[in-house]
Structure formats: structure tokens, C-alpha cells
Structure 1
Amino acid sequence: MELLEKVVEIAREAGERLLKTYSAEARPKSRADMYAFGRRIEGGTSEYLETALRELRPEAGWVGDEMEGSDLPEGEWWATDGIEGGVNHVHGLPEWSVNITLIRDNVPVLTVVRMPVPDLTYTAVQGEGAFLDGVRLRVSEKQSLDAAVVTASQAPGNPEANRRFGDAVAALMGVSLLVRNTIPTTFPLLAVASGQYDVFWQYEPDLPGVAAGSLLVSEAGGTVTDLRGQPWRPGSPDVLIAAPGLHEAARAVLDGVAS
């Protein structure tokens, strides 16, 4: 628990640094302005996180961008996002966070998601439950897809990836209550862990977002696999995270979508 408390402190400090650059009135005038500002604020925060976390646990490795699409070597690794939801931050929206997850032998074991706006901290430790500001989280108890709010986090990709995602949305819209696509990855998973959403899937998963969200959901009672029903791990080509009463039904629908 001492480790978790220290990681929370680091996440809070990183969030405070980002809060100084945040304005609800921000409206970038161009794509270039948006990316320039985003790179500037994320770079400073990521540098702070790497320094602080390496000092906290020197034996743990650091997951760089080039490592996100494959299995990690054995041992402990920090997977972080200096500003998850940077596009939201630069547009004056509140859905942005600092994500810190400790992965051990390709399994997330500790995570902190800090949202400076509106002052929320999500935490989970393997085997100890998931919490929002100390209040335990529970996933949905729904048993039927026709009552399910299904969500994804899929950025535009190549034409074939876009087609596959569109086919999956169409298939799920035919059997569920509602389908949403939300960027970035972390926020729909926070809602699944809280029981507000019921199902989440993603092709080509974003590692920092899924690592954090998958631990929160699993510790809140949810089910986390890839689309073949195998345990999700870094390097998996896709992910399905859902309330246990809906997971298999959602997987059956997605399994029918041509890859």
C-alpha cells in the first residue's frame, strides 16, 4: 500500500503541472496549433513521471512508444501516459488524466488514474479491489446485450481497419441498447469499472489506457480478454472488457465480424 500512496502522490503532482496549462476557454485554431501545444505539455509531464518513477522503483523498466505493440520482457515495467486525452485538454474539455500503471510479467498489478478536473483519483492494486477516491467500484450486473451500453475507443486508421471497426459498430448496434466511440481509451474503461457502461472493445489497443483500465475493471469484477477469449496482455491485437454477464455475448457478436 505504501507504493500505491507514493504513486498517487506522483500522479497528483503531474496533474497539478498540467492543470497550470489548462483552460476551459482553450480553442486551438488549427491542427498544427493543437499538436504543438499537446507535444509541449505532454513532454514535460512525461519527463517528470519517468524521473520520479525510476527513483521510486529503480529496478522497473520504462515502456517507450516503440514497445507498445509487443509483449514486454519479464519483470516490472511502468506504462504511463503523461496526458491521456491531450486533444481534450487543448480544446478546453475536462476528460484528461495522468495514467500510471505498474506491469509485472505482462500483467498490470497497480494503477493510478488522476483526473485533476474534476479532482478524481482512480486506483487499483491486483487482488485488492478498484476504487474512486476510496469508494469501491463495481461493474454492471446486466445479463442481456439489449440493455447494454457498449463503448469503444478507436481512432481513424487505414481503410481496412476503418471498415472492420464500422462493421463491428453496425453489428453491435443491432443487438445492444447503445454504441459509443470515445477517445481516449481510459475514460470509457473508467465508466465500465464504475458500472455506468457495460462493454468495451478496441482493435490495436492503446497500452497505457488499456493497462490502467483493464486492472480497474477486473478488480471491479469485470472480465478482460482478447477477442479469442484469451487473457489480455501487452501485445495482444485486440481487447474486450465487459461486465461478466455480457462478455461472452459481446465476444460472439464481435467474433462474427470479418477480420
Structure 2
Amino acid sequence: MHPMLNIAVRAARVAGNIIARGFENRDDLETQAKGANDFVTKIDKEAEQAIISKIKQSYPDHAFHGEESGKQGADETFTWIIDPLDGTTNFIKGIPHFCVSIALMHKGRLDQAVVFDPIRGELFTASRGAGAQLNGYRIRTSKSKDLNQTILATAFPFKQKDTLATYTEQFSQIFLACGDVRRTGSAALDMAYVASGRFDGYWERGIKPWDIAAGELLVRESGGLVTDFKGNNDPLFSGEIVAGSPRVVQNLVKYLK
């Protein structure tokens, strides 16, 4: 395992322990609204600080871009992109589907990735050029080519409800063309599931870099393709994403352009 990936895994497990304990004691949660339908708890903040602290022990000069704490560090040669608890609403409601997402960018390119599900104990990892793994075993995207009989994942535009009409039109066309669609509430896990072949594809609008950074590298290193709705190959900061096997992505983009 790459040394920086090893540190990321350790940080994810530390955060996962905080999240798991918090999940068992949700009555003690301090929940705040960051925006419309956008919540944060003290567990999100504690987990993010634990991740940053763990990484800084080994790499004190690295920069950080966290969902809760924003940007830290002037030298962005190495930048850690962190979502300490992706799926906060699931967490608050007691739905056991959420994760820790940590990605490392080196000179603007995704280099290392960890998505950790602390409830199921599933650890998805990837290093640029070295493939993707689930609990140490190699994973690959599905071999699906056409949308027929595929299982896709998406998310409703709950933070941008003014875009519902456009989303509904796109969803209707895709739904008629595919086998079925899932909506789980965690973008990072959706992409990890695409990387491992559980989902054949995934699309979402209104997405943030920390939601998808680790998942993007997982999908690419498992043989998949990641684009924005126009088919461009650098979607991290575009606010929209399509992921899956190359043919599935190409077919999805036809409906999303």
C-alpha cells in the first residue's frame, strides 16, 4: 500500500470509530442547518478534525479542503479533500448508510482515495495507476454496455429544487431506458458501489468536490469512466457527475447533455 494511502486509511478508521460511536448515541447529537436541507452535526466536525490531525502527524505541510473546515494550507502541491461524514441526513435519521471519504490530490491530479463504511466495515481504496480494492481485493466496474437491465444510482436535487423540472425530464428518459434506479443518500458510497460493480452507473447534479473526489479515483482505477453531463473528463469542480462503465456513461450523457 502506498504510504500516503496507508495514512489515509488510518485517518478514515479513526473517523469511522467516532461516527460509529455517535451513531449509537444519536440522542446526544447537536444538529445545525448549514442551508436548505443541508445539515451538520458535532460528529461531522469531530470526525473531520480527527482526520486532519491524523494526516498532519505525518504530513504537516500538506493542504486540506474539508467540507466543514474549508481550505487550510498555502502549499497546494498535496491537497487532501475530505468529507468526514457523507450521508449526514441518513446518519441523523438512523439509516445505516454513510461513509468517510478522503482523497489526495497531487499537483491537481487525484492520487489516493479512501471511502470507508464504518457500519459494514467496508474499506474501498485506490492509488493512481495501481487499481482499486475493497477490503484488499481488486474490484472492477460492471461490464454493462447498454442501459437495458442496468441498476443505476442518482440523487434528487433536494438543495436545488428549482431544477426539478429539468431533472424530472432527464430522470424519466433514463428510467424508461434502464432496469431500475436507486437513491441512497451518499454520493461517495454510490461511486464506490459503481467501482465495485454493484451499481452499473451513477449521475448527479449539484455535487461538491468532497462528495466525489475519492469516488472518482475509485471508479477510474476500477476501469470506469467519469465525466460531467456534457461528457467532459474533468468533472470534479463542475457540480455534476456521471460515472460507470464507459458505454453506460456514454449512454447516460446522451440523455443529460
| TM-score of the superposed pair, with normalisation by structure 1 | 0.86
Once the 2 structures are TM-superposed, how far is the Cα of residue 65 of structure 1 from its aligned partner?
A: 4.5
In structure 2, relative to structure 1, the CA distance for the partners of 1:65 and 1:121 (3 Å cut) is closer
| 2: CA distance, partners of 1:38 / 1:64 | 13
Secondary structure, in 3 states, of the residue corresponding to 2:142?
Answer: coil
Contact 2:67 2:84 in 1 (8 A): no
User: 1:22: which partner in 2?
Assistant: 23
User: 1:188: which partner in 2?
Assistant: 190
Structure 1, unpaired ranges of 5+: none
In structure 2, relative to structure 1, the CA distance for the partners of 1:197 and 1:11 (3 Å cut) is same
| 2:216 is the counterpart of 1:225 | no
Secondary structure, in 3 states, of the residue corresponding to 1:245?
Answer: helix
In structure 2, relative to structure 1, the CA distance for the partners of 1:7 and 1:99 (3 Å cut) is same
| 2: CA distance, partners of 1:234 / 1:60 | 20
Once the 2 structures are TM-superposed, how far is the Cα of residue 4 of structure 1 from its aligned partner?
A: 1.4
Once the 2 structures are TM-superposed, how far is the Cα of residue 123 of structure 1 from its aligned partner?
A: 0.5
Counterpart residue identity of residue 129, structure 1? G
| 2: CA distance, partners of 1:13 / 1:117 | 13
| 2:146 is the counterpart of 1:129 | no
**Pick from 214, 217, 221: which aligns with 1:215?**
217
| TM-score of the superposed pair, with normalisation by structure 2 | 0.87
User: 1:3: which partner in 2?
Assistant: 4
Counterpart residue identity of residue 117, structure 2? M
Once the 2 structures are TM-superposed, how far is the Cα of residue 104 of structure 1 from its aligned partner?
A: 2.2
Counterpart residue identity of residue 46, structure 1? E
User: 2:142: which partner in 1?
Assistant: 140
Counterpart residue identity of residue 115, structure 1? D
| 2: CA distance, partners of 1:38 / 1:65 | 10
1:19-60 per-position Cα deviation (integer Å, ceiling 9, x unaligned): 22222x9589xxx97548952111111112122223322332
User: 2:96: which partner in 1?
Assistant: 94
| 2: CA distance, partners of 1:67 / 1:6 | 20
User: 2:36: which partner in 1?
Assistant: none
Q: Counting strand residues as a fraction of each chain, which structure ranks higher?
A: 2
